[in-house]
Amino acid sequence: MRRESILMIWVGGFVLAAALYWIGPDRFFDACLNLIDDFDAAVRAVVAMLGAQTYSVVRALAIALYVVFAVLAFLASQRGHRGIGALFVVSAVFLVLVWRPYDPYPAPIGRWIAALILVVVGALIMTQRLTVPPDRRDGLPPPPYPPGGRLP
């Protein structure tokens, strides 16, 4: 084990001892729980203050990143990667999550967050597919890149 790690353990022990002395050993656990409760209350207050704005931001991000995913999926399929199947599956799940044609209220934010996570993962996967050469099952060398370049 490295000496720096052992030193950090000793320093942490002395900091804990100072905190126990300052707060009091019998009230230390209550002080830690109060600190966690205060942090939780502050986060909830910020979320409540930004609730409507957060909902709009999440919806806008989900829709915009769905478009990014769709474009990347088309580009991936044009370059010989699998992308159209993923486009159909992600589109279907996205619509199931957020489309509510006969309900006067929009989908809850939890569904929009799930849709946002879905399209972010899909866009990242399509980006990864576009950065590697396609699988060539016919035995031919990959096409030159950039287009118009020389063949090897």
Q: Which pLDDT tens digit goes with each residue over 57-104?
A: 889 999 999 999 999 999 888 888 888 999 999 999 999 888 887 878
Task: Please tell me the predicted confidence (pLDDT) of residue 71.
Answer: 93
Q: What is the pLDDT of residues 3-46, one digit of tens each?
A: 888 999 999 999 989 988 888 888 887 887 888 889 888 888 87
Across 125-133, average pLDDT: 87
Contacts of 135 (CB under 8 A, 6+ apart): 80, 81
Nearest to 66 by CA among 56, 78, 58, 55: 58
Task: Please tell me the predicted confidence (pLDDT) of residue 30.
Answer: 84
Residue 54's pLDDT band, with cuts at 50, 70 and 90, is: confident
Determine the Cα–Cα distance for residues 136 and 100; give it in Å rounded to an integer: 42
Residue 55's pLDDT band, with cuts at 50, 70 and 90, is: confident
Better-scored residue on pLDDT, 120 or 48: 120
Phi, psi angles (nearest 5°) of residue 81? -95, 165
Determine the Cα–Cα distance for residues 19 and 33; give it in Å rounded to an integer: 14
Across 146-151, average pLDDT: 60
Task: Please tell me the predicted confidence (pLDDT) of residue 152.
Answer: 55
* pLDDT at residue 129 tops 70: yes
Determine the Cα–Cα distance for residues 86 and 33; give it in Å rounded to an integer: 46
Task: Please tell me the predicted confidence (pLDDT) of residue 126.
Answer: 92
What is the dihedral sign for C-alpha 130, 132, 133, 137? negative
Determine the Cα–Cα distance for residues 127 and 17; give it in Å rounded to an integer: 50
